[in-house]
Every structure is written in C-alpha cells, then in structure tokens.
Structure 1
C-alpha cells in the first residue's frame, strides 16, 4: 500500500467522521485494509493523519476558513473539505513531507474523487497556506494566514 492509497483511506475515514463523530482504531483500520496489506509504517501514517486532523480540527478549520475568502467552510463540499483538512495537517505538522508533495497528492486525490473544478480550488487554498510560512520555515498559524 502506498502513501497515496493511505491518504485516500484517510479521506474516507474523515468523511465518515464528519457524520458519525467516531474514528476507527488500529484494528478497525487493519480490517478495512485487509486486501491492501499495509505495512506498519503505512498504518502509523494513516493513524497520524486521522488522529492529527481530529485533534487539531478546530485550528485546521480556522486556517482553512481564513484563506477561503467568500466561502464558508460548511459550503465547501465534504470531500474537498476533508482533502484540504488532511493536507493542512501535513503542512502544519509533518515536516518530513515537503509542501509540494502534500499539495500534489491532495490535488491528484481531488481529481480522482471530486469535481473537475475542485482540484484548482484545493490547490489555491493549500498553496496560500504553504506560502504563509515564515522565512525560518515555521509552520503557519491561523493569525499568519489572515494577514
């Protein structure tokens, strides 16, 4: 299983979380991916993304809202909103993943799972957040994104 496939699974899990407010544990994730045979590293990556987005959901949503001018967060399609959420988590908390990789993966997943127009919207939001980094490569805060 690749990280791309892991991100696709994360999208599905976050989409489900929006409606159920419950999240799968490691065993449920493994059972859901039984035919994909994920490595321990991929399982940790999935758990980090899901858990990290949920833990920091309010901060992530504030940042998204601050850069999505003229769009209320709840008006953004659920698939797009959750792609943006896990990508923002990567941008903020995963220094081991280059911003360009995060953005490219999010855009490609949007092309697969969302509308024809979504990928450019997602790219614009993520690019704005990525460029909100300070010169010392500190992670952006909601306040910095509002500037």
Structure 2
C-alpha cells in the first residue's frame, strides 16, 4: 500500500471520527497526533486541513451531484470519502482526478456498502468534469 493510500485511510478515519464524535477537525488532529503506535501522516493532515478549509464548497458540490441523496442521509464513510476526493480533485494539483476517484472507490469497497463504490465514482466523476 502506498504512503498516499495510507494517508487517505488515516484522513478517512479522522474525518469519520470528527463527525461521529462532534469534534472539530483541528481538534481531532491534535487529539490523534500524539499516538506513537499510529503516527500521523503528513498528507493525512494536509487532506483534513484542506477539507476543513473548503468545507462549504465541497459539501455544496456533493449536494449538487449526489442526486437523490441528502448529505446527512449518506453513510458517514461515503460522506468522508467524497469530501477527501473532492478536495483532491479541486485543490491538490499533485493528484490526478482519476487517481482520487479510484482511491475513493477502493476505500469504499473496503469500508462501506456494496453500492458505495459506484455511487462515489459517479458523484466524483461529475465533480471532476467541472475542471475539464
């Protein structure tokens, strides 16, 4: 597993935990950064900070393209993965959109429902098409 894949997984955990526990993203990073058995990945922090900085824009795009789904009705893992990949697509020039989509779908296969990879891929493909 690549370092970026591990960082995305860690970012997924942080976003999910933050929302589930009602803890601000900055606080969850500080809370989890001191664990010597599970060191914080620099790219995970970059993702979480980026998602936090662009939260309104990211959530609005997800709402727009996730037809038939309210953001708060989606599985929490799907919501977090959509936020991560949307940030990567729109705000990280070092990651190509197809890579962000593929990584999000892969994590969805591992951690979410059977329908999630296709759903996530569809929403993210529409978001990626905005930049083309």
TM-score (norm 2): 0.87
Q: Out of 5, 20, 23, which is 1:21 matched to?
A: 23
| C-alpha distance after superposition, 1:107-127 (max 9, x if no partner) | 000011001110000000001
Q: Which residue of 1 aligns with 2:13?
A: 12
| C-alpha distance after superposition, 1:37-61 (max 9, x if no partner) | 56xxx41x11111011112111100
Q: Cα distance 1:6–1:107, how it changes in 2: closer, same or farther (>3 A)?
A: same
* 1:30 Cα deviation from its structure 2 partner: 3.5
List gaps (5 residues or longer) in structure 2: none
Q: How many residues align?
A: 129
Q: Which residue of 1 aligns with 2:34?
A: 31
| C-alpha distance after superposition, 1:22-75 (max 9, x if no partner) | 23476544434x33556xxx41x1111101111211110000011111111111
Structure 1 distance, partners of 2:103, 2:111, is 12
Q: Which residue of 2 aligns with 1:73?
A: 71
SS of 2:6's equivalent? Answer: helix
SS of 1:54's equivalent? Answer: helix
Larger radius of gyration: 1
Give the helix-richer structure, 1 or 2: 2
Mapping for residues 78-93 of structure 1, pairs under 5 Å: 78-93=76-91
Mapping for residues 38-117 of structure 1, pairs under 5 Å: 42-43=41-42, 45-117=43-115
